[in-house]
Amino acid sequence: MNDKLLRRLDDMGSYLTKCEDTLGLLGLGSVGIELNRLDQYSDLDFFLIVKKGSKSTYLDSLFWLNDVFPLVYSFRNTIDGYKILFADGIYGELAVFEDDEMENISYSEGRWIFKKPECNISNIQKIPFRPLLSNSTDYAINELLTNLLVGLQRFRRGERLAAQRLIEVHALNQLLSILPSIYIEENVFADRFNLDRRIELRFPAFAKKLPLFVQGIESIPASAQHVLDFVMAHFDVSEAMVFEIRKYLSF
């Protein structure tokens, strides 16, 4: 069991329960009720429930996380939340909701780290992913980095199919989406609903590198290494995330 993750969640709960506009902190997944699958490759997955009108306070600034332990990386990946990395290497994904947002949601069991008496929510299941409507290069790069990190953690755990999907499908798709910022695109009809289509004709120089990025389920770390190297060669990326990703490439 990863006691470090549980202590961090408990420390967050101790801090947040003292804030007047918070209602509860809910651990999900392996830090929720599925504690029996918590291991060294797990991360934090949690919801913060706040009073009506308070959501922006906790989304516009992550003071409430930095006060508990310094953050070295944060990426606003959805309307409701972030992907984060603490200075000690703990990675997490979070969302913030006001209590009245939960009224039309069907609930299944999570684990309350704290829950104030005025919180009327009994249980909760993950709310459908609500992505930010962003086509920015910055968004794609950060999504790619988090895909690499989580994918490599799953590979080291033995979840090779899940790792392959995150790295050779999802991370690679993010890379494909930003190719026009790197290469001059050939005058070939592009399928904007399927980035895979005609990639060899649109970006022939990149297409020659594809075997490096898609080496198969037995060579996921090698694929991840080449994706990371390619992105770093063309863009400024988070040093903290690169450091963390490389930890899972090196053994």
- SS3 state at 95: strand
pLDDT for position 35: 87
Amino acid at 148: L
Instruction: For the chain, list the strands marked E by DSSP.
Output: 22-27, 44-50, 71-75, 81-86, 91-98, 111-115
Q: What are the backbone angles phi and psi of residue 206, rounded to the nearest 5°? A: -70, -40
CATH numbers and ranges of domains, the chain: 3-115 (3.30.460.10), 137-249 (1.20.120)
User: What span, in angstroms and rounded, lies between the C-alpha atoms of 153 and 128?
Assistant: 24
Q: Are 95 and 109 in contact (CB under 8 A)?
A: no
- List, in sequence order, every residue forming a beta bridge with 24; answer none if it has no partner: 49, 115
pLDDT for position 209: 94
The tens-digit pLDDT sequence of the chain (251 residues) is 578 999 999 999 999 999 999 999 999 888 988 888 898 999 999 999 999 999 999 999 999 999 999 999 999 999 999 999 999 999 999 999 998 887 655 445 689 999 999 988 765 555 666 666 566 899 999 999 999 999 999 999 999 999 999 999 999 999 999 999 998 877 776 666 677 788 888 888 999 999 999 999 999 999 999 999 999 999 999 999 999 999 999 76
Kindly state the tokens that stand for 213.
């990025």
pLDDT for position 250: 78
User: What span, in angstroms and rounded, lies between the C-alpha atoms of 137 and 234?
Assistant: 11
Place of tokens 């968004």: 139
Sign of torsion over alpha carbons 172, 173, 175, 176: positive
pLDDT for position 99: 86
The edge-to-edge listing of strands for the beta sheet with 111-115 is 71-75, 81-86, 91-98, 44-50, 22-27, 111-115
pLDDT for position 110: 81
CA 105 → CA 57, 72, 97, distances in Å?
23, 33, 12
User: What span, in angstroms and rounded, lies between the C-alpha atoms of 78 and 95?
Assistant: 8
Q: What are the backbone angles phi and psi of residue 37, rounded to the nearest 5°? A: -105, 10
Distance from chain centroid for Cα 136: 17
- SS3 state at 9: helix
